[in-house]
Amino acid sequence: MSGARERILTRVRERLGSAPEEPAPSREPREVRSGDVGEFCRRLQAAGASVERIAEDAVPQAVARYLAERNLAARVKVSPALANLGWAEEPLLETAVGVADLADSAAVMPAALGVAETGSLVHASAEDNPTTNHFLPDHAIAVVAEETVCADLEAAFSAASGPVMPRTICLITGPSRTGDIEQRIELGAHGPRTLHVLVTAPVPERGPTSAT
């Protein structure tokens, strides 16, 4: 449609006339404060996710335990970014690293950030972090470090978009749902039926693992 661009933009300019330039009153991201991690967990739970706070070296055990408690098969697709978490320590848990497909009922993937304001996980796609794994499996298990929890949406967008904009930034706030039949909310429309979030705390070097 050659010329369409010019015709549209010309019409817009004619209609607008000349408006004075005005500074963008964009809201500054809020600073992180104590209590933001708790707020993040509380809101995420309110959105229908389950949340567990663990030490950062305890992910494989937490995943195995979660699947066992729910009577789910001890088998997960692991996003490449999480390939080196020491999965061998859980010999009964079958893991495969890569992009999820229809055969995967559960997947474990990282979140780049948490957002206290909304209780959202922030997924940023990357070569070791496929977007598919967040959406295709029935059960999503996300790992997010507590020190990445930021205050609000502005802070999340600013952190996730720089310095190189990923193909996909996705704010995930609870499991998939729909209200399309008689306005009743049902979980598990097309994306995950359950979302379990492991919020990890750093382990002090060579120190004893603190009990949570």
Partner 1 sequence: MMDGAAAARFPEASARALGDENLQAALRLLGEGFQARRTDAVERFAAFEDARDAAVAAKTRTLRHLDRHLETFEARCREHGGVVHWAETPADARQIVLELLTDRGVRVLSKGKTMVAEEIGLNGFLEANGIEVIETDLGEYIIQLAEEAPSHIIVPAIHKTMPQVADLFRQHHDQTGAELFPRRTPADLVAEARAVLRGRFLEADAGLTGANFLVAETGSSVIVTNEGNGDLTQTLPQLHIVLATIEKVVPTLADGAAILRVLARSATGQDMSAYTTVSTGPRRPSDVDGPAEYHVVLVDNGRSRLLGTPAEEVLRCIRCGACMNHCPVYGAVGGHAYGWVYPGPIGAALTPALLGVETARHLPNASSLCGRCEEVCPMRIPLPKIFRYWREQEHAARLNSGRMRLGLAIWGWLAARPRLYRLATGAAMRVLSRLAGRSRRFRSLFLASGWTQSRDFPAPAGRTFLNSWKQRS
Binding site for partner 1 (CB under 8 A): 1, 4-5, 7-9, 11-13, 15-17, 19, 22, 24-27, 43, 46-47, 80, 98-99, 102, 118-120, 125-128, 130-132, 134-136, 152-154, 157-158, 161, 165-184, 186, 188-192
CB of 2 to partner 1, least distance (A): 9
Q: Which is nearer to partner 1, 40 or 64 (CB)?
A: 40
CB of 181 to partner 1, least distance (A): 4
- Residue 26 carries which side chain, given as an amino acid letter? S
How would DSSP label each residue in 48-98?
Answer: T-EEEEEEGGGHHHHHHHHHHHTT--SEEEE-GGGTTS-GGG-TTSEEEES
Calculated CA dihedral for residues 37, 124, 78, 45, nearest 10 degrees: 30
Place of tokens 């992009």: 99
CB of 96 to partner 1, least distance (A): 14
Phi, psi (deg, nearest 5) at residue 27? -75, 135
Q: Which is nearer to partner 1, 16 or 92 (CB)?
A: 16
CB of 195 to partner 1, least distance (A): 9
Q: Which is nearer to partner 1, 58 or 150 (CB)?
A: 150
List the beta bridge partners of residue 139: 106, 194
